[in-house]
């Protein structure tokens, strides 16, 4: 019985299939779709108000493929737009869908062919687009409650989709935005894919050209990859992604600019996750690699990953960018650089917990974070091993000359608004730094900036067998900034420091310095004029080069005595100790207690130095305490214990020393004459007294003799 039923069913199905075949054959033989051109164009005219022109032939196929072949077809532009330009045009379209799988809610298509697509999109100056009339507002059915996604899924089960592939050739899309003054053209567009089906990798190959007017640039684009998708699970995977561009523009320092991006992309839309793995960007000879994981992509994106920049030559990069480096710069610098970091971030924050930067022989490590990009809060902890800054600068002799002193309005000013907005806290440390040829070690710089107050603490460094410690505060809360500094230098060897920085150790010795200063102002000139504070200093076992006080005294003495000039000695003043204190008032440094001690000399000094005008007005009172040795020599023994004034004036760069022994010697001569007069008077008085005594004695003797003669 069952066999009989199966036979009847088979015969029925065969009869139905035969009937369908006969029907399809009859439709193909008896129905010509070209007979319906006018009906189709009229329907489009009624629905859109636009003219549809079907210039090519229409052809249909029904079994086993439901197919449509469309020749050249054009859709007119919107009313008021350029009538000579079609809104859309296509040379040919071939679509073939397998008929029987449709009955099982499956779509099986052959390769979709589309050739010669042209789409012209535009927007007028007043903001009207040439597709506005094609958009229809959805009609809300208020009588029916909204269906949940689960109900919609049950009501409309997903169709199984299988396409033999997509082949788009010679397509073009133009976007002419007259409101923004921008024109974008995508042409020479071609797209080829392999078979398309859920869960099956699809090979994709795309080629096109992009041209823009603002900014003016153009570039060919090539894209390859393998796409896998699952529409029901909303999961998409693009592996083996390979995008190449060659951007040409007069605005670019390098044209064409070749760019290549490769990697893998995995997206789970349902879980709002995107993972980028093995990303590699190549540009300007640089190779950047990244791993990136993004969460909450549809709500509040959060990203984490790693980024590295492979070793490259910054010097070669500057050549490519046509950046000229100073010829005198050390040719060994900028030879290598690299970057490696971990990061987490969102639309409003970035955190780099691990940072590693290499430049030539230097390495910077640490961490860095920025919160709230609109009002950034920056935190950092950075460590530098060794950096010679001078290697990256031209020699000092080749630096451009300083411009003439500018007026306050022309001088550079502190960027108050920028400083007030700073929210920074962190610490920078360095093992070694060479700057302006000065060598520093053990550097620690702490920065705290918030609410218009910037504080540098701790601020310290080891230098030239000594130490520097400081605390600097900049207050920019008001229109006139305030600056205060509390600084100390301990046991620093001054000679090597000046020799390294200035090329000449104009002074030497072990220096100790303490200073507390304050000032106000927004320009360097005003800051100098408003400088106030106190300082004290002490130098031991050193010398001041460029002036030999003993030699000056000897030469002046020889000139007065009309003797031959003394033999030249070292042009420096040696001392065992130099000390003093200063007060600073409105940029003028006042010192009243300078003391210099040496085996030969004792020097006291007092005077003023105007920092703003760089002028010196100073008086040195010098005394010779020993003449048998030392810088003075025996030939100035006449000056021993005399106070000899030396006037110091001029500028910082060209000080002058004026010594006049004549008044000193004249005063000494007067003193000596008075002493001699007093001595002579004493001698005369003594002789007179002696003569008087002798005369008295003689008179008394004669009187005695006469008296004795009378009484005989």
pLDDT tens readout for residues 355-399: 999 999 999 999 999 999 989 999 999 999 999 999 988 766 544
Query: If you ran DSSP here, which 8-state letter would residue 419 be given?
Result: H
Return the closest-CA partner of residue 659 out of 636, 680, 691. 636
| pTM (whole model) above 0.95 | no
Six-digit token string for 499: 């020799």
- Which pair of tokens denotes residue 310? 């492979």
Domain locations in the chain as residue ranges: 467-660, 676-712
Q: How far apart are CA 181 and CA 183, in angstroms?
A: 7
What ranges in 333-474 are assigned the alpha helix state H?
416-420
pLDDT in tens, 634-669: 456 666 767 788 889 998 878 888 877 666 666 665
Tens-digit pLDDT profile for residues 538-559: 999 998 887 877 777 777 777 7
Q: Note whether 97 and 67 are within 8 A (CB).
A: yes
Give the per-residue pLDDT at 43.
78
pLDDT for the residue 671: 62
The CA distance from 598 to 631, in Å, is: 10
pLDDT given at position 401: 47
Mean pLDDT by 10 residues, the chain (712 residues): 41 42 46 69 80 79 70 84 81 78 68 88 88 62 46 49 84 91 93 87 95 92 94 91 95 92 96 95 96 93 96 93 84 94 95 97 97 94 96 66 46 86 96 94 97 96 96 95 96 93 87 97 90 96 83 74 73 89 95 90 92 90 67 57 83 82 63 66 74 75 69 58
Which run of H or of E encompasses 193?
A: strand 182-193
Specify the pLDDT at position 504.
81
Q: Which DSSP state fits 256?
A: S
Are the C-beta atoms of residues 500 and 437 closer than 8 Å to each other?
Answer: yes
Neighbours of 430 (CB within 10 A): 20
- The mean pLDDT of the chain is 82
């Amino acid at each position: 019985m069952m066999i009989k039923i199966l036979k009847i069913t088979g015969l029925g199905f065969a009869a139905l299939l035969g009937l369908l075949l006969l029907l399809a054959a009859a439709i193909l033989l008896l129905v010509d779709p070209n007979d319906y051109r006018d009906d189709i164009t009229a329907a489009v005219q009624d629905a859109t108000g636009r003219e549809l022109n079907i210039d090519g032939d229409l052809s249909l196929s029904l079994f086993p493929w439901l197919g449509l072949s469309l020749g050249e077809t054009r859709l007119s532009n919107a009313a008021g737009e350029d009538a000579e330009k079609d809104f859309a045009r296509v040379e040919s379209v071939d679509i073939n869908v397998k008929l029987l799988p449709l009955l099982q809610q499956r779509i099986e298509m052959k390769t979709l062919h589309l050739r010669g697509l042209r789409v012209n999109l535009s927007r007028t100056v007043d903001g009207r687009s040439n597709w506005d009339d094609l958009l229809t507002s959805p009609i809300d059915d208020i009588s029916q409650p909204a269906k949940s996604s689960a109900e919609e899924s049950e009501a409309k089960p997903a169709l199984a989709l299988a396409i033999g592939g997509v082949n788009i050739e010679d397509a073009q899309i133009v976007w002419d935005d007259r409101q923004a003054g921008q024109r974008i053209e995508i042409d020479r567009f071609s797209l080829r894919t392999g078979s398309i089906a859920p869960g099956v990798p699809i090979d994709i190959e795309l080629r096109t050209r992009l041209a823009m007017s603002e900014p003016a640039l153009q570039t060919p684009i090539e894209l390859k990859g393998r796409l896998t998708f699952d529409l029901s699970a909303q999961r998409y995977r693009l592996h083996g992604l390979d995008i190449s561009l060659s951007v040409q523009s007069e605005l670019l320092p390098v044209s064409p600019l070749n760019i290549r991006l490769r990697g893998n992309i995995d997206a789970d839309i349902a879980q709002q996750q995107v993972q980028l793995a093995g990303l590699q960007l190549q540009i300007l000879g640089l190779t950047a690699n990244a791993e990136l994981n993004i969460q909450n992509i549809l709500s509040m994106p959060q990203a984490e990953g790693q980024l590295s920049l492979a070793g490259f030559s910054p010097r070669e990069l500057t050549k490519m960018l046509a950046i000229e480096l100073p010829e005198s710069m050390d040719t060994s610098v900028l030879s290598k650089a690299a970057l490696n970091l971990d990061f987490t971030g969102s639309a409003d924050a970035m955190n780099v917990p691990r940072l590693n930067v290499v430049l030539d022989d230097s390495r910077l490590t640490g961490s860095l974070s920025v919160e709230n990009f609109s009002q950034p809060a920056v935190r950092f902890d950075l460590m530098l091993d060794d950096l010679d800054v001078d290697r990256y600068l031209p020699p000092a002799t080749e630096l451009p000359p300083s411009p003439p002193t500018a007026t306050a309005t022309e001088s550079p000013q502190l960027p108050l608004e920028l400083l007030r907005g700073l929210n920074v806290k962190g610490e920078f440390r360095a093992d070694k730094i060479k700057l302006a040829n000065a060598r520093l070690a053990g550097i620690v710089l702490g920065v705290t900036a918030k609410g218009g107050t910037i504080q540098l603490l701790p601020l310290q460094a080891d230098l030239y067998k000594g130490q520097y410690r400081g605390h600097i505060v900049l207050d920019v809360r008001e229109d006139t900034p305030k600056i205060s500094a509390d600084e100390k230098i301990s046991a620093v060897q001054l000679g090597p420091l000046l020799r390294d920085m200035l090329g000449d150790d104009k002074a030497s010795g072990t220096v100790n310095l303490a200073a507390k200063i304050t000032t106000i102002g927004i320009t360097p000139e005003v800051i100098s004029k408003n400088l106030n504070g106190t300082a004290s200093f002490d130098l031991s076992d050193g010398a001041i080069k460029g002036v030999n006080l003993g030699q000056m005294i000897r030469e002046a003495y020889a000139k007065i005595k009309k003797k031959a000039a003394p033999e030249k000695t070292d042009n420096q003043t040696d001392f065992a100790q130099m000390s003093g204190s200063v007060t600073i008032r409105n940029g003028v440094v006042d010192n009243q207690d300078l003391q210099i001690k040496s085996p030969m000399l004792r020097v006291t000094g007092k005077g003023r130095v105007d920092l703003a005008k760089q002028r010196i007005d100073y008086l040195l009172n010098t005394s010779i305490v020993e003449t048998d040795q030392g810088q003075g020599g025996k030939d100035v023994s006449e000056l021993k214990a005399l106070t000899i004034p030396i006037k110091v004036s001029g500028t910082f760069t060209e000080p002058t020393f004026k010594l006049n022994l004549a008044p000193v010697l004249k005063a000494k001569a007067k003193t000596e004459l008075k002493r001699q007069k007093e001595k002579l008077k004493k001698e005369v008085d003594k002789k007179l007294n002696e003569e008087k005594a002798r005369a008295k004695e003689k008179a008394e003797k004669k009187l005695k003799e006469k008296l004795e003669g009378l009484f005989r």
